[in-house]
Amino acid sequence: MTPRARTPAKRRGRKFLATTVVLAAVAATGVALYLDRHESTRTATPAAADTTGTVLPDAQQARADLDRLTVARNRNWESYERNAFGPGWSGRGGEPRLSDGCTAREVVMKRDLSEVRLAESNSCLALSGILHDPYTGAQLPYNRFKASDIEIDHVVALGDAWRSGASEWSADQRRQFANDVGNLLAVQKQANQDKGSKTPDQWKPRQAYRCDYARRWIGVKTRWSLTVQPTEKAALSDMLAACTPVPGR
């Protein structure tokens, strides 16, 4: 059977379709190049802590707050589960958004990185920067598209919070605690893993950061009415001794 001859109209239709596909591909490539160029060069101003986060007390306030914390032994440790504090930061969605529309992890990365660069299309997203790790003093580069040696640490770990009072909270209270940016720090991955859910009598950061670490720990436990163990309280008191005295006091 003889094939039908292509009509001029059909040839024009196919030519038009092919041209449209090529132009769409060129346009998509151009947009990708534009976004890459602009998103990789936008320098961000370091973000302030979310207003709902725990405020870092000064050394004098921390000492007074430490004296007022309830001293008690841990409890309900055997029933702890991470998902009791809501979803983590998997990047697959579902993470709570804070007052500026960003997740807690995004706020902390913008706050703790220096020379941070943000995505033009999403001001919550840090593309790169440098972390001066408070726990070890190491200087760590960050690139969102490469493997990272940086993790976000709950200073007062979720497990310790559970053992010191959070087991009795509502699910909403635990979710809020897990996303308290005042209790979160970007740190070296290995240091974070070494620390785990240990209290200050079991693990300490480098000497130069112990004052701030104790202040933050006490601030979080005070705000959330969590208890401290006797050895934990003694260790915090010793760490506060590393704080620089205020002149005239």
pTM of full prediction above 0.85: no
DSSP 111-180: HHEEEEEEETTEEEEEEEEEEE-TTT--EEEEETTS--SEEEEESS-HHHHHHTTGGGS-HHHHHHHHT-
| Chain segment 51-60, per-residue pLDDT in tens | 579 999 999 9
Please report which confidence band the pLDDT of residue 91 belongs to, taking 50, 70 and 90 as the band edges. Answer: low
On the question of pLDDT at 101 being above 80, the answer is yes
Write down the pLDDT at residue 162: 97
| N- to C-terminal Cα separation, the chain | 105
- Percentages helix, strand, coil for the chain (3-state, rounded to 5) are 45, 15, 40
Q: What are phi and psi of 137, to 5 degrees?
A: 85, 0
d(CA 176, CA 48): 18
| Chain segment 103-147, per-residue pLDDT in tens | 999 999 999 999 999 999 999 999 999 999 999 999 999 999 999
> In the predicted model, what is the mean pLDDT of residues 52-80?
94
Write down the pLDDT at residue 12: 52
| Chain segment 132-185, per-residue pLDDT in tens | 999 999 999 999 999 999 999 999 999 999 999 999 999 999 999 999 999 999
What are the residue boundaries of the structural domains of the chain, listed by start?
Answer: 38-240
